[in-house]
Amino acid sequence: MAAKRIGILTGGGDCPGLNAVVRAAAKSALARGWGVTGFLDGYCGLVEDRSIELCDSAVSGILARGGTILGTSNIANPFSYTLPAFGSPEKPADMSGRAVEVFKKHSLDALIAIGGDGTLSIGLKLIKKGMPVIGVPKTIDNDLAATDVTFGFDSALAVATDAVDKVHTTAESHHRVMIVETMGRYAGWIALRAGIAGGGDIILLPEIPYSRQALCGAVHSREARGKHFSIVVAAEGAVDEAGEMTVASTVKGSTDPVRLGGIGYKLAELISNNCSSETRVVVLGHLQRGGIPTAYDRWLATRFGAHAAELVARGGFGRMVRLAGTDVNDVPVEQAVAHLRRVDPAGEEVRAALSVGTSFASSTVK
């Protein structure tokens, strides 16, 4: 086989397991005699030509480390570049041609792009410009439709579940309503599964619009049954029946400029004004992105990285690694980013939660 050199970058928000993928892809490539270039800070490194050599010592000992040794960015888009080197939020620049030039300058045969829907959507555009890209699905939100699970999700779920477990004691001691606000953007997977695993009494999701009357009614119902505390697990993207999300801010130049957040405090005000219970809020935020990856995420990320290198070896460009059942295989990147994977309001997981008495504070899902 002719000598090869591959590039690797990590884009979008950080999460546990990124280093495990970098390690597995790099080690698999090095074992084949290939060279490996790691681009720094996501697509910034590809546009601005900032990189490091990923030799064996560079990826040694990083399996259990959180974050990414390569750095990342969730606003670097080569097709609408707003960072100071070549653009600004007021005047974005199309730097995709330069990204292709940098790719060629390093004599690369493939680019492994590790990220969520934003990173992979950019990867798809680069594929259409002729760059041989392979995608690896990463997001704590678990919202990529073409894979059963994304790495990073299990670690975030463990943090959220632990938080729900911990607030039970203080809620019960003080007879309070405790609201735990999770991440997840437009998908409710973290809130749903942490709520089920942690015994949440009320779960609010983007996919199941909540009724303010039903929410307060659920709290009143528990009080009437002698349950003088309630645990509410609310996804940051939860919507009311008017379809309104709670937006914390917007970020110009990002592939998804909307930053959700604040639903917990909004709900606390509603409950405090309509129920007798004292209410407190715990916003987990970036705690869900930090720390060491779970064993499951290390296992999954290692398999994903190894399969990405295998795709390079057989020329399977334009494809994304995925988990299907217990098998790791691959699908076209175009299929992977076609739509988001969201909770099915009529699905088995929701029905299971309902069967044990969990409320979704909905006038339609009961």
Model confidence over 347-362: pLDDT tens digits? Answer: 999 999 999 999 999 9
User: Are 310 and 321 part of one and the same domain?
Assistant: yes
User: Are 198 and 105 part of one and the same domain?
Assistant: no
User: Is residue 366, in this structure, part of any structural domain at all?
Assistant: no
User: Are 195 and 264 part of one and the same domain?
Assistant: yes
User: Are 175 and 49 part of one and the same domain?
Assistant: no
pLDDT at residue 180 above 80?
yes
Give the pLDDT confidence of 187-244 residue by residue, as tens digits. 999 999 999 999 999 999 999 999 999 999 999 998 889 898 999 999 999 999 988 8
User: Are 349 and 211 part of one and the same domain?
Assistant: yes
What pLDDT shows up at residue 255?
64
How does DSSP classify residue 211?
Answer: P
User: Is residue 24, in this structure, part of any structural domain at all?
Assistant: yes
CATH of the domain at 228: 3.40.50.460
Q: Is 141 a catalytic residue?
A: yes
User: Are 188 and 253 part of one and the same domain?
Assistant: yes
The predicted model gives 29-53 an average pLDDT of 97
User: Is residue 313, in this structure, part of any structural domain at all?
Assistant: yes
Query: How many structural domains comprise the chain?
Result: 2
User: Are 59 and 135 part of one and the same domain?
Assistant: yes
- Per-position b or e across 292-303, b if 16+ CB within 10 A of its CB: bbbebbbebbbb
pLDDT at residue 79 above 60?
yes
Find, among 165, 230, 236, the residue nearest to 194 by Cα. 165
Confidence of residue 19 (pLDDT cuts 50, 70, 90): very high
148: Cα within 13 Å, side-chain hemisphere: 9
CATH of the domain at 323: 3.40.50.450
Q: Domain limits at 14?
A: 5-151+291-336
Angle between helices 348-355 and 189-198 (to 10 degrees): 30
User: Are 306 and 207 part of one and the same domain?
Assistant: no
- Tell whether the torsion through CA atoms of 131, 11, 15 and 263 is positive or negative: negative
User: Is residue 167, in this structure, part of any structural domain at all?
Assistant: yes
User: Is residue 27, in this structure, part of any structural domain at all?
Assistant: yes
User: Is residue 364, in this structure, part of any structural domain at all?
Assistant: no
User: Is residue 362, in this structure, part of any structural domain at all?
Assistant: no
How does DSSP classify residue 205?
Answer: B
Count Cβ atoms below 10 Å from residue 312 Cβ, excluding itself: 22
Contact 15, 155 (CB under 8 A): yes
What pLDDT shows up at residue 2?
63
What pLDDT shows up at residue 247?
84
Contact 96, 229 (CB under 8 A): no
User: Is residue 11, in this structure, part of any structural domain at all?
Assistant: yes
- Tell whether the torsion through CA atoms of 80, 340, 156 and 266 is positive or negative: positive
Query: Which tokens go with 276?
Result: 């007798």
pLDDT at residue 252 above 80?
no
User: Are 93 and 44 part of one and the same domain?
Assistant: yes
CA dihedral 229, 234, 239, 242 (to 10 degrees): 10
Find, among 211, 206, 209, 176, the residue nearest to 191 by Cα. 206
Q: Catalytic pick from 14, 141, 143, 154?
A: 141
Range from 26-35, 74-83, 211-220 that averages highest in pLDDT: 26-35
CA distance 358 to 82: 45
User: Are 131 and 266 part of one and the same domain?
Assistant: no
User: Are 211 and 351 part of one and the same domain?
Assistant: yes
Q: To the nearest whole percent, how much of the chain has pLDDT over 70?
A: 98
User: Are 141 and 179 part of one and the same domain?
Assistant: no
pLDDT at residue 175 above 70?
yes
How does DSSP classify residue 240?
Answer: B
